[in-house]
């Protein structure tokens, strides 16, 4: 894979999506594509017209046993990576350990509303949490409000409603 060191790889101006594969087929591809296009549009980046063909070629060549595929797009790059799905081998136990991160989300930053390459806070928080026996760190914003996990979303049921 040859990468051009554009603003995506130098400054984080790119988008990514991570999709589960079941029997070599991506799950919710259209929804992931829509979210990625929204972020790329915001960044002023156009997804190549042939991206789905390139994606399918990658899966056809590398998909055997693959559980997760990541699509990464920046102004001059489109790349894919694959790995096993970590949730398929997650240790069976009665709970999932959450902990609050010391890192705060900046609710005034437009980047918190998009899935971009700017993911350093999440990765560092996830690594620190793992050292402390925590499965997923949860972020608050600067107002102390719960926002999201490092690699997850938060959902609540209140009065019987999601």
Q: Provide the pLDDT for residue 138.
A: 97
Range from 7-11, 30-34, 81-85 that averages highest in pLDDT: 30-34
Residue with tokens 């991506």: 26
Q: What is the pTM of this model?
A: 0.85
Nearest to 115 by CA among 21, 12, 25: 12
pLDDT at 134 over 80: yes
Q: Give the tokens for residue 40.
A: 């790329």
What tens digit of pLDDT does each residue of 75-114 get? 999 999 988 777 666 666 667 899 999 999 999 999 989 9
């Amino acid at each position: 894979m040859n990468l051009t060191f554009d603003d995506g790889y130098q400054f984080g101006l790119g988008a990514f999506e991570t999709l589960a594969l079941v029997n070599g087929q991506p799950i919710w591809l259209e929804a992931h594509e829509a979210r990625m296009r929204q972020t790329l549009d915001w960044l002023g980046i156009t997804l190549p017209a042939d991206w789905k063909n390139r994606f399918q070629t990658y899966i056809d060549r590398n998909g055997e046993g693959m559980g997760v595929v990541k699509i990464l797009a920046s102004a001059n790059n489109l790349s894919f990576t694959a790995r096993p799905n970590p949730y398929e081998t997650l240790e069976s136990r009665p709970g999932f350990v959450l902990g609050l991160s010391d890192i705060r989300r900046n609710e005034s930053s437009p980047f918190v509303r998009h899935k971009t390459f700017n993911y350093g806070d999440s990765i560092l928080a996830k690594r620190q949490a793992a050292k402390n026996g925590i499965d997923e760190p949860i972020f608050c914003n600067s107002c102390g409000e719960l926002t999201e996990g490092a690699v997850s979303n938060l959902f609540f049921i209140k009065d019987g409603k999601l």
